[in-house]
Structure 1
Amino acid sequence: MSCLRHPAGAYLRLEGSISMTSAVADDTTDKVVFGGVDSHADTVHVAVISDNGGHLADAEFATTAAGYAAALAFLGAHGHVNAIGVEGTASYGAGFTRAARSAGLDVVEVNRPDRAERRRIGKSDPIDAYAAARAALSGRASSAPKDDTVTGIRALHNAARSAVKARTAALNQITHILVTAPESIRARFGQLKGADRTDALARLRPAGDAVHVAVLTALKSLARRVKELTAEHHALTRALDSEVTAHNPGLRAAYGVGPDTAAQLLVTAGGNPERLRTEASFAALCGAAPVPASSGRTNRHRLSRGGDRAANAALYRIALVRMSSDPRTRDYVARQTAAGRTKKEGSPVASVGR
């Protein structure tokens, strides 16, 4: 616990404060201040500046509920908090960001420090916290923090993707082992494919000489891993589907939009709320806004290689599904082809790529 002394002699007791430097003004009733936060795994360093950039105070707090409450009280003790610049609102600063927004305070993301200033005055927790506060004051930091409502979707989506990657790695290992395995093992399992091979390997009882036992034991272990990861992925996908449907049932119900695709689009949108002003801005965010490439009598657009490539891949999958089985999309492609455009130029995948 630390105490903040006002010039009048009163002390403000701050539960959760670890260390503090202060210079509090006499009257904070109508004073407008800006906050800055340098976040770490176990602590956040909070700084307060006036509306003309003057340093008022800074303190360090634990990353606990009590610490966040003390940090907000510390900020409020210096005046009306106009905005708080936070480094890492989606990582170490996520807890403080949630607490501040729950208290009705405006939080902005400080994406990167001022490199020129860092070279000039160096780096420390108080320096970084004051720099974050100045970024909020100047408007250099104006991005909204990532949307907290998609945190659960992001966690499930990342877990499901990691399960798929691990499963693919295990399947590749099985294939590579079988390439160099003894002839009897290759003859027995080399012709099997997919689930049939995995099931057969998972039921193995390794026997034979030392080489056969070692190879068969490795194959059995990998096959069981594949089955476990498959079941894990199915469970995560079901949970993800429920979460996505509850969050945005309209998106999930759209033709060609599965749980994974819907989750990726929601994660992209939730991670970039300041860029979602229009449909065109979202298209640009996803790398699906065609870039003009006209010259003279040639009037054409080229594929955009910018934007969020994971979201772009999600749109690509939707377009492929619709081109194969959605009547409206197939009619659109037919009209574009009849107008003289190539399949690449006239199809829904013309502005997206893998």
Structure 2
Amino acid sequence: MSTGPVSALFLIADLEDGHMVIIGVDPHKDVLVAVAVNGNGRQLDSTDAPARPRGFKALLAWAGRFEQRTWAVEDVRHVAGGFVRFLLAADEHVVWVPTQMSSSHRKKLRASGKSDPIDALACARAALAEDLPAAVADTETRSVKLLLDHREDLVGEMVRICNRLRWHLHDLDPDFAATVPARKLHRPKWNTYVTEFLSALDGSVSVAISVELIGRIEELARRAAQLERELESLLVIHAPQLLSLPGCGPLSAARIVAETGDVRRFPTAATYAMHTGTAPIPASSGNTERVRLNRGGNRRLNAALHRIAITQKRMYEPARTYLDARRAKGNSNTEAVRALKRHLARRVYTLLRNGPHTLHQPGENTMAA
């Protein structure tokens, strides 16, 4: 893949200007596709390289002609993580481009269709148009993210096995299956209950499979609980202030740490709110003033804040008072919860920026700016 549609004369002129060049990268397991654009979004050059250490070096050598450059890499961590770590080790400036954002900017391109160069160009132009936080070197947050993602994979597998077990129990005895709560098959009490039921039946294939599934569920439940304890021990060291936030349990705190990374890459609380997808989007018209749901940002981080907000709504009096005040102003319940999430994003940002020494006292209003 060679140069794009721009002539070499224009390429030289852009290089002589010494302006910042954005290099968009569309990562895949086997290949990395890069497109360089100038400050106006005009494509300067494109290339590809193997998604291997030798390819990383080749891309860096290709980019050497651009003295001032920023790499805009699509946020596919398990595919692009090694390449970004290589760039950071080489003191390159890198930003992550969320996949939703790159998809949105791809639709704005004049070129129709979808290809790797088009995706890379969309990443570059997204970095030009949006205020994206810089990527930083891996710290303890990577360990938290890996453990948390692994636990979620195990829990997902456990849920699938529980569903299969329920079908076998329904086949063996529909009346008995109806007595087993759908969401509690992974708990020891119900494991024992089902095991005792199976032990009284004949040794059919369905019974043997059910016994095997019970054993697998117990194994996965134990490992998931162990991982949750490991995550909590890491958070007690690195982010205890999050655990003190009412409604924020170890898993929500771990997700916040994992998806935020180094909070210093967000210059303001407003920037962080945009990253979390909690910053409201104006949707006013005429005399009607309103905002609409922000569907952008990091949705996993948004979900963690949503869990905290719902928990506070149920059990934390300052949050309930705040929600009542918002509803009294005419907000719907959904709009009030969104406002609470925005305040929580600001509070989380402050806690992470100031470090563990900002632990607030019990009963302190977490809605404070």
TM-score by length of 2: 0.62
SS of the equivalent of 1:118 reads coil
Give the Cα–Cα distance (whole angstroms) in 1 for the partners of residues 137 and 25 of structure 2.
18
Q: Which residue of 1 aligns with 2:252?
A: 261
Greater shift after overlay, 159-168 or 256-265?
Answer: 159-168
Does the C-alpha gap of structure 1 residues 352 and 304 become closer, same or farther in structure 2, counting only changes over 3 Å?
Answer: farther
Q: Which residue of 2 aligns with 1:135?
A: 125
Does the C-alpha gap of structure 1 residues 49 and 320 become closer, same or farther in structure 2, counting only changes over 3 Å?
Answer: closer
1:314 aligns with 2:301: no
Residue in structure 2 matching 1:166, options 147, 150, 157: 157
Larger proportion of strand: 1
The question of whether the paired residues in 2 share the 8 Å contact of 1:199 and 1:223 is answered with no
Q: Which residue of 1 aligns with 2:212?
A: 221
Greater shift after overlay, 274-283 or 35-44?
Answer: 274-283
Larger proportion of helix: 2
Give the Cα–Cα distance (whole angstroms) in 1 for the partners of residues 3 and 281 of structure 2.
53
Alignment coverage as a number of residue pairs: 318
SS of the equivalent of 2:110 reads helix
Q: Which residue of 2 aligns with 1:100?
A: 87
Give the Cα–Cα distance (whole angstroms) in 1 for the partners of residues 276 and 293 of structure 2.
10
Q: Which residue of 2 aligns with 1:15?
A: none
Shift of 1:224: 0.7
The question of whether the paired residues in 2 share the 8 Å contact of 1:90 and 1:145 is answered with no
Unpaired runs of at least 5, structure 2 = 342-369
Q: Which residue of 2 aligns with 1:251?
A: 242
User: 5 Å matches for 1:22-41?
Assistant: 31=18, 34=21, 35-41=23-29
Give the Cα–Cα distance (whole angstroms) in 2 for the partners of residues 153 and 213 of structure 1.
44
In structure 1, what residue type is equivalent to 2:93? D
Give the Cα–Cα distance (whole angstroms) in 1 for the partners of residues 144 and 266 of structure 2.
20
In structure 1, what residue type is equivalent to 2:255? Q
Shift of 1:263: 2.0
Give the Cα–Cα distance (whole angstroms) in 2 for the partners of residues 280 and 21 of structure 1.
35
Does the C-alpha gap of structure 1 residues 117 and 97 become closer, same or farther in structure 2, counting only changes over 3 Å?
Answer: farther
The question of whether the paired residues in 1 share the 8 Å contact of 2:26 and 2:33 is answered with yes
The question of whether the paired residues in 2 share the 8 Å contact of 1:143 and 1:274 is answered with no
Give the Cα–Cα distance (whole angstroms) in 1 for the partners of residues 83 and 264 of structure 2.
19
User: 5 Å matches for 1:188-337?
Assistant: 194-199=187-192, 201-202=194-195, 213-270=204-261, 277-278=268-269, 282=273, 285-287=276-278, 306=295, 310-319=300-309, 321=311, 329-330=316-317, 333=320
Aligned CA-pair RMSD: 5.2
Does the C-alpha gap of structure 1 residues 339 and 65 become closer, same or farther in structure 2, counting only changes over 3 Å?
Answer: closer
- Percent of matched pairs sharing the same residue: 21
In structure 1, what residue type is equivalent to 2:249? G
Shift of 1:54: 7.0
Shift of 1:228: 0.8
Residue in structure 2 matching 1:64, options 48, 52, 73: 52
The question of whether the paired residues in 2 share the 8 Å contact of 1:275 and 1:282 is answered with no
1:84 aligns with 2:51: no
The question of whether the paired residues in 1 share the 8 Å contact of 2:36 and 2:124 is answered with no
Shift of 1:143: 2.7
Give the Cα–Cα distance (whole angstroms) in 2 for the partners of residues 130 and 306 of structure 1.
22
TM-score by length of 1: 0.64
Unpaired runs of at least 5, structure 1 = 1-18
